[in-house]
Amino acid sequence: MSDVTEKLYDIPIDSPLTETRREAIDKFIVENAHQFPMKIEHTWTDGPQPMLSLVTKPVTWIARFQDRKVEVFGMGPRWAAMLLTKKRREEVRGHIETVLQHAGFETAQV
């Protein structure tokens, strides 16, 4: 059974990702990993639109940074997508916004 990827939402941000903000995101995740309800690992993919992957098996959350928004995707087995309720999506969005705000981004709900 193959994984499916679904775009969940866009989070508007005030400015592009910088190295300083990226380091702040890394530090926040490492220092707060114990607060997540499950084990979390993270990696970065460099490029014109850097991507942060947050792995919380069986789902990987992908945050793709653009100049004025962060696109958030969920990727995992088809059965896991059925468990991704509206409430859970909003919880994940809240966690991601907290990380972004800690790194100095101003975010806004769409």
Residue 84, both tokens = 């991704």
Give pLDDT tens digits for 10-47: 999 999 999 999 999 999 999 998 887 778 899 999 99
Rounded Cα distance between 91 and 69, Å, is 19
Within a domain: 43? yes
Can you give the residue range of the structural domain that contains 11?
Answer: 3-101
**Would you say residue 106 lies in a domain?**
no
Residue 108 lies in a domain: no
pTM, two decimal places: 0.86
CATH number at residue 58: 3.30.310
pLDDT tens digits, one per residue of 43-76: 999 999 999 999 988 889 999 999 999 999 999 8
